[in-house]
Amino acid sequence: MSHKMNTEQENMLRNIGIVDFVTVEMTEYLDTHPFDREAMEYFNHYMRMKNQMMRDYAVKFGPLSLSVADTCSKEWKWALQPMPWEGGC
């Protein structure tokens, strides 16, 4: 079972990965530096960016997370998403 992705989908997925990486890195940094205001602003900026990118991706290619799963469409798109180990992302 392999899923062909178009370039736009691949690019969007890659950009989500990049922005998410910043939030993971900042989360762990802030755990040991909980009073670093500059780091918190940095985290907020990238977290907002990631949330928007997750919503944009869901509209075009389906949800990567249940928080952006749209139940108004005819099918349950969450179940139809390719599994990540199939090489799509």
Partner 1 sequence: MWNYEKRLQFPVKITQPNAQLAQVIISQFGGPDGELAASMRYLSQRYTMPYNEVAGLLTDIGTEELAHMEMISAIVYQLTKNLSMEEIEKSGFDKYYVDHTLALWPQAAGGIPFNACVFQSKGDAITDLTEDLAAEQKARTTYDNILRLVHDQEVCDPIRFLRAREIVHFQRFGEALRIVQDKLDSKNFYAFNPEFDRCKC
Q: Confirm if 64 and 58 have CB atoms less than 8 A apart.
A: yes
- Joined together, the tokens standing for residue 49 give 């960016």
Q: Confirm if 50 and 19 have CB atoms less than 8 A apart.
A: yes
**C-alpha to C-alpha distance for 7 and 11, rounded to whole angstroms:** 6
Q: Which one, 21 or 76, has the nearer CB to partner 1? A: 21
Binding track over 28-67 against partner 1, x by CB under 8 A: xx-xxxx----------------------------xxxxx
Q: Which residues bind partner 1 (CB under 8 A)?
A: 13-14, 16-17, 20-21, 24-25, 27-29, 31-34, 63-67, 78, 81-85, 87, 89
